[in-house]
Amino acid sequence: MLVNDSLTGSSILTKENITNDYRLACESRYVSLLGRKDTMGGRSKFGIFGDGKEVAQIALSRSFRRGDFRSGYYRDQTIEAALGNLSWQQIFAQMYAHADIAHEPNTGGRSMNGHFSTRWLDENGKWLDQTKLNNSVCDISSTAGQIPRAVGLAYASKLYRGNEELHSLDTFSKKGNEIVFATIGDASTSQGMFWEAMNAAGVLQIPLLTSVWDDGYGISVPVEYQTTKSSISKALAGLQRNEEEQGLEIMVVKGWDYPALIETYEKAATLCREEQVPVLIHVIELTQPQGHSTSGSHERYKSKQRLKWEQDHDCNLRFRDWILKNGYSTEEELEKIESDAKETANSARNQAWKEYRKELDKDYLDTIQMIQNVMHESTHAKELSNVILELTKTYLPIRKDMVGSIRKALRVIGAESLPSKHLLLESLRNAIKESTLRYSTHLYSQSEDSPLLVPAVTPAYSEDSPTVDGREIIRSYFDELLGKDPRVVALGEDVGMIGDVNQGLAGLQEKYGELRVTDTGIRETTIVGQGIGMAMRGLRPIVEIQYFDYIYYALATLTDDLATLRYRTAGGQKAPLIIRTRGHRLEGIWHSGSPMGTMLSSLRGIHVIVPRNFTQAAGFYNTLLKGDDPGLIIEPLNSYRQKEILPDNIGEVHVPLGVPEILREGKDITIVTYGSMCRIVMEAASVLHQSGIDVEVIDVQTLLPFDINGKIVESIKRTSRVIFADEDLPGSASAYMMQQVIENQNAYKWLDSAPVTISAKAHRPPYGSDGDYFSKPNMDDVFEVAYQMMREVNPSRFPEVF
């Protein structure tokens, strides 16, 4: 322990600052203790806290400046409180799942406690001035999931500093003078995301300051089972920069040593901010006084010796001793601080509970009164009395208990016509409507910037419009886009020097520079993370996953972070990232290019777009860039060298989301498809026409959203038959399309034949053209399925072919 530290007498280590820091550490500790009690007492379903990390987090907050970013994890309560982002009442409101952003502004009651966020968007979904905020990206529970986006947040500062065209965006950056504070538990550094991100940070040389909170365990698993050499700083030593080579600056500091922590963070932040050097601070000898969470007790897996060590090295107690030994406060003064801190925590808890229960208790009394009113009018008084009794016996009743009781009462009443019944029905309808607003909003943009509101602009052609390869269409589009919008950045593997593997960006790095069109390493997770962070900071990145099959590397980041961001912040944050990839009709087990079912199940919150050609693709890029939602565009690989006419207005074309296009009109069968299957289905439609079968072909264009105006059901009303065709696995995207149309659009009412799906075989396609032909739907398959459907209707007109 330092007694006469080098910072004594500085502007940082004044008595006022030190005692304020101690007060905050005490308050945070008492909040953690009360939070555990609330969970064990039934007020909360779960609790996880930052006890044992208070002093280190206070030191970090001392180096934080307005405009900086925290990309952390669920133990950062002391940081958030120190920055003024979090009141203690709000942390309890989050524990109680208070679904009201006035009381729980972090996630609106949608996330368990410890998930913190700054609201960057106003009530209209517009960006606030990030340079005036202590920015905190909403946490996710997935271990290390916060680290990929931290790379992008810091990379944005590099771009804002290096690209003068961005300096006018002064509500997002102070010319790149911001740093990103990433935080992670030591055990989570075992995740591949962390290692990939550290490597990327060292390559990119970005202002990323990563703190590793090391308390020796990952739940019950000690560090010797987690990390080589039982030390993440030793394991990462090869990334340490030196005089000849760039890399990371790695620092180690004890989590109970207050002056050393202040000094370390001040030095690290200065280096990071001024020179944009990534820094990792390994904060060792931390403790976890209450164990991992309320799910269990750490006494089960820690030895008595370890528990005794943790008591002796508790950061708050060591901080207290240091204050006394250095004469910053007396025992009496510290006891007063501790007493006041305990009262502050208790008061915050009580107020949070009062506010949370206020509306619930009213609903509880109103529900009982409504059921009692009906009971007096009903012939089922005894059963209704039991409904009331069951509700009154419920410990701390919440909305589900009240709504469940109303539903039960309505089932009991049945068809009885009672004067008071309408009040129950009205109450139920209101409760369901209000719950939809609480829990089912903000999956996508609800602002005037929603891409769903972008009007269509059709391609314009003239006699001079050239016919070129599809790759020339998309290259011409990107050239025009990069020239007019400095916020747009394209990055990915092989994107820069060769202009991507299909030359869609050929020559554009040379024209616009490496900061605008950028090569990356083979690191899909942090490519996506890089894009997420940039999009969070007002830029419009287009990041590339080289081939669609490799999106699995980044799927956790896409589904856990990007897809849920707007939803989990109840409309408080957004990241309008565009992910560009190419797929469909690829050959080979790892190049089949059609995992659509996985995307549909995983990426709700991201628009999934499947253009059939590159004029359509350009229109979809424009639509997304006009909006403020993230989108995944899967370009058709086999169309890069197919001929298209280049529109005169390629930079202005806008294709609306969720609006299918009829490619061929017909009266016998509707075939619904997308992407590269459009060409195959159109070829089959021509052959079917020769056999007397008139097929209507519909390109859905986007899978999320899907046919928002019911265009497909209108087609089925004319044809009375439908086939859903794609090259995904059975039961995936084709089944999804069927469900959307048959169930959601009620198309079954107009069907004269059973609906049919055409999909690939239930395995990935083998390599080679024969493997593709016998594994994925082809023109012959489409013809035969459609022909058989019509043969069932009129076997004499359509005799058996085989």
For residue 710, the 8-state DSSP code is: -
- The pLDDT value recorded for residue 455 is 96
Residue 584's pLDDT band (cuts 50, 70, 90) = confident
- Amino acid identity of residue 4, one-letter, is N
- The pLDDT value recorded for residue 592 is 78
- Amino acid identity of residue 370, one-letter, is M
| Average pLDDT of the segment spanning 571-597 | 89
Placement of tokens 């169930």 in the chain: 743
Encode pLDDT of 112-167 as tens digits. 999 999 999 999 999 999 999 999 999 999 999 999 999 999 999 999 999 999 99
User: By CB neighbour count within 10 A (0-12 exposed, 13-18 middle, 19+ buried), where does 201 fall?
Assistant: buried
Catalytic residue (one of 380, 591, 654, 689): 591
Active site residue 591: yes
How far is the C-alpha of 729 from the C-alpha of 734, rounded, in Å? 8
Check whether 611 has a pLDDT greater than 50.
yes
| Average pLDDT of the segment spanning 606-621 | 97
The helix-helix angle for 147-162 and 192-204 (nearest 10°) equals 10
- Asked if 183 and 229 touch (Cβ cutoff 8 Å), the reply is no
Check whether 697 has a pLDDT greater than 60.
yes
How far is the C-alpha of 796 from the C-alpha of 591, rounded, in Å? 43
Encode pLDDT of 332-374 as tens digits. 999 999 999 999 999 999 999 999 999 999 999 999 999 999 9
Pairing between β-strand 279-284 and β-strand 467-469 as defined by DSSP bridges: unpaired
- The pLDDT value recorded for residue 159 is 98
* Strand residues in 88-144 grouped as ranges (E): 135-136
Check whether 427 has a pLDDT greater than 70.
yes
Encode pLDDT of 17-69 as tens digits. 999 999 999 999 999 999 999 999 999 999 999 999 999 999 999 999 999 99
Encode pLDDT of 78-87 as tens digits. 999 999 999 9
DSSP 359-375: HHHHHHHHHHHHHHHHH
For residue 456, the 8-state DSSP code is: P
Distance of CA 93 to the CA centre of its chain: 23
- Asked if 215 and 52 touch (Cβ cutoff 8 Å), the reply is yes
